[in-house]
Amino acid sequence: LLTQQSLQESERKYRGTFFNAAVGMARMALDGSWLDVNDRFCEILGYDREELVGKTVQDLTHPDDFEREWKLMTDVASGVRDTYDIDKRYLRRDGTPVWGHLTVSTARSDGGDALYYVCVVEDISERKEVEQKLQALNTSLETRVAERTAELTALNQELDAFNYSVSHDLRAPLRAIDGFSQAMEEDYGPQLDKGARHYLGRIRNGATRMSDMIEALLRMSRLTRGELHLEEVDLSAMANELLANLQQEEPERQLVATVADGLQAVGLRVMGDSRLLRVVMANLLENAWKFTRQREETRIEVGSAHDPESGEQSIIVRDNGAGFDPKYADRLFVPFQRLHSAGEFDGQGIGLATVQRVVHRHNGQIWAQSQEDAGATFYFTIKATPGRQ
């Protein structure tokens, strides 16, 4: 009697759990027909309980998903596996598909024979809708990236054609202008008055300056294209070498150089393309050397600085030179935008533009702080990582 009561109590609890579960639950015969279903299962599929009982798993499964599930059902029934769970599409009463996450196991006799399947179904339609939207978005993004890559390839090809045109089509007439001007000056110079000789000199100077600007643009284009070859670069060692070269060229100048040790200072050993980073350091140090020329003592510092807000480490190049008005700082990195006249300081106005492009290729940023006649400090970051160019 006690055993009978226990069985009845167990059955009552089971049925209470079965019918009131928040997920779909069902018992399915080994031939795939439904023996019993709960309310949530009916709600997911849009059927009444009486309509579902007796139908088969094939009746309610999307044709594209049935063969896979039948193989799994057979494996569970034969004991090859204990359970399985899959995402599958059911067919609702109105024929529309609904996504469910299905977990299936078997109830077995004391002898281990499979009696029926126990199925638990969770409606995952919303999740699948989000996944499909994400997949569509990813496909769209991949398409846009492919299109953008094709556009960039076409632009690079156009740039190559432009560079070729600049190299050949523009240089030839400039050489002709300079050559004929020189010939006129040499052959007819004595017959020309002072004003005419002055104009010829200006023509030759203009042609030379134009040729130099073309060469600077081509050099910048070549430097900032192509593949990055990443390696560990000691910027302090590079700075010491470059400063020594500058001092050797003008040994009469008084230089006080302070270069942090790359083995001890944080941030001065970076991953980057050493050839391009040498261009960065050379331009910044040559600028510092140039704009301190009027000082009795040239002071140049190379080190690193920590930004407490962003947590980033930046490399700095500081000098005690002429400086610049900070309101014009946005013009620093624009090609041919000079903050000082050519009469004060020579140059093409292309060096800092080249530096910025190289830094950007290394996923970094560059900026400067200064005041007129109070020196300048340039800051830049290098964040190059393999696969990003």
Give the range with max mean pLDDT: 55-59, 156-160, 167-171: 55-59
Q: In angstroms, rounded to a whole number, what is the distance separating the alpha carbons of residues 304 and 132?
A: 47
Query: For residue 338, is pLDDT > 60?
Result: no
Percent of the chain with pLDDT over 90: 35
For residues 138 and 164, the model is more confident at 138
Determine the pLDDT at residue 353. Answer: 84
Query: For residue 185, is pLDDT > 80?
Result: yes
Determine the pLDDT at residue 59. Answer: 92
Mean pLDDT over 129-155 rounds to 86
Element (H, E) at 203: helix 194-223
Tell me the one-letter amino acid at 108. R
The DSSP secondary structure of 58-124, one letter per residue, reads HHHB-HHHHHHHHHHHHHHHHTS-S-EEEEEEEE-TTS-EEEEEEEEEEEE-TTS-EEEEEEEEEE-
Q: How confident is the model at residue 380 (pLDDT cuts 50, 70, 90)?
A: very high
Q: How confident is the model at residue 225 (pLDDT cuts 50, 70, 90)?
A: low
Supply the mean pLDDT for the chain.
83
pTM of the model: 0.53
Query: For residue 197, is pLDDT > 70?
Result: yes
Q: How confident is the model at residue 388 (pLDDT cuts 50, 70, 90)?
A: very low
pLDDT digits (tens, 9 = 90+) for 270-323: 899 888 899 899 989 998 998 898 888 999 999 988 776 667 888 999 999 888
| Phi and psi at residue 267, to the nearest 5° | 100, -15
Query: For residue 118, is pLDDT > 70?
Result: yes
Query: For residue 15, is pLDDT > 80?
Result: no
Mean pLDDT over 333-345 rounds to 57
Query: For residue 389, is pLDDT > 60?
Result: no
| Phi and psi at residue 366, to the nearest 5° | -140, 140
Determine the pLDDT at residue 57. Answer: 92
Determine the pLDDT at residue 387. Answer: 47
49-66 in b/e form (b: 16+ CB < 10 A) is eeebeeeebeebbeeebb
Q: Tokens in use for 323?
A: 């400086």
Determine the pLDDT at residue 333. Answer: 80
Q: In angstroms, rounded to a whole number, what is the distance separating the alpha carbons of residues 333 and 109?
A: 81
Percent of the chain with pLDDT over 70: 82
